[in-house]
Structure 1
Amino acid sequence: MPQPTGRPGSADAQDPNEADARDGFSLSRKEQGEVEQKRPPRVAVLHETIRLEGEEELGRGLSALSLSALAAGLSMGFSMLARGLLHRYLEGVPGAFLIESLGYPFGFLVVILARQQLFTENTMTAVLPLMTHPSLRKLGSLLRLWSVVFLGNLVGTALFSYGILHMELFDDGTRSALRGIGTEVMGNTPLQMFTKGIVAGWLIATMVWLVPAAEHAKIAVIVITTYLIALGGFTHIIVGSVETFYLVFAGELSFGGFVFHFALPTLAGNVVGGSCIFALISHAQVRSDEAEEH
């Protein structure tokens, strides 16, 4: 059977929209379209998707940011509450820790699917615009965003912790389980708060990077990533604030202990893991790909 010559203008010239048989199977245009649809997005596409989201966040008004951050802090309280309730009713069950840790992703699901402002997400999304176009104006916008969101998240976590402690919602067993979660967190040294915070920040940034590509698997990505944080006992500044504020309001932890033993080391670890490691590496990867293409 004669082979196509591939000469321009000849009847048997290879269509530019057809796959080269030397590189793979010959496919129709329709089949090529199906292949493109099934391929994961390029790294640059993910980077640009998250960068544009970060630009949008940097441009939001103060009141909108504050209310969204407050809502996120309140929502994150359900991670501790779900975990505490599971611990209460699974007490004595073999492998209970593996099951009760499934309560940890609940707050993240609410915050991310409702598009509320969570500080540890912003260590990834809001940093990419600054890395892409460094300027003092962008740095000022980033610090403004971080300050407003972090403060709003903390106020929300404090309100949630105070509410569930003083509203007489639960029996003594559940209240003891909630205190136990906070006590477990405070069992870490400040150095451990920092190092475990790095891993938690890295995992949250990884989740933020994966969600745009996940399409119909977004919930699975959120659950699996945050479940790993719970299993590893890694420290997260917002969820951990709910857990430790509960101890503060119960009179079992001083506010100074909260700030210096937990909050500052954990905050630093989350920022290092999310911004200084994952976001920087991901941005550098895209820059390297661009340089090679040009």
Structure 2
Amino acid sequence: MASLTAASAVFAGPSDPDDRYFDLPKLTQPPVLDGERGADEWAGALEWACSNSQIVADGAKYGWREQETGRSDVSANQLNQSEGEDASIARTDDDYAATIWQAWDDDGFYYITEVRDNVRDVVGGERLESWWERDSMSLYVDLINNKEESGEANGYVAMNIINFVAAPQNASAVNITWEYIVAGSREPTQDPDVIEGFTYGFRDAGDEFGGETDYVIEGMMPWTTLMRFNLPGAPTVGSEMGACWIGLDPDNDGGYGGQLQCWGWADDPSNYATWIFSDIPAGPSGTAVEADSWGRIKTTFN
């Protein structure tokens, strides 16, 4: 297998986006959702970047849809230059950059993201569910990983969106939004009875990550909640799901204010990266995730 991999590297050209398969480690014990990334709590978790630098790397590896506007074949920089924002800052890692650590256990999916940001904006929204108008993080997840092209035109199958706003969970009734699929269309809700179980901790991180209004979101999404609609059953070792992250960064703009699409194009689940649920341990006594014997991509990017 190693010789085949080496031979394939001889040929120039973009890599196949379908090679984006990642082992999702299993937690030895759940983290405390307090916005603090304890070294033991998240040891060995799957680490992804969501930043302009990552999108540039994606374009170099997988090709570009439109390089001038920052759209690679598997990600997109859709940040804006806000009023008063320096052009040298806008749309760069100094504008917005996040790192996301991910893992699972028998109860649910967990993540923590550390976000570098130059402006905090969690106000606005013509509708309560207009989460894209607030600093936040959205997980787009294809719960059955069917890899079929779907979207607004063709109808969704099992793509869900879970959005956590960059503010304390209980500070507002709009800080958690869930969109699930009914008859091929997205159905948004913030009904506390429906979203019960989704939970997160938030921490204002000041300039800890190099920005001015940095923050941390540390969240959990129970399988029992996701099974209310589009998840047929809790995952086990060997299960697969497609995943894409959207970092929202409105920067005080009215309405939609910009975002990064990372590890996939949000409206096309066939383009998502794939989690493979594994029994590789994460958390206390966990070990770092490395490429396996089949040459799967190493999951930590510097």
The TM-score range, normalised by the shorter chain, is: under 0.3
Q: Which has the higher helix share?
A: 1
TM-score (norm 1): 0.23
TM-score (norm 2): 0.23
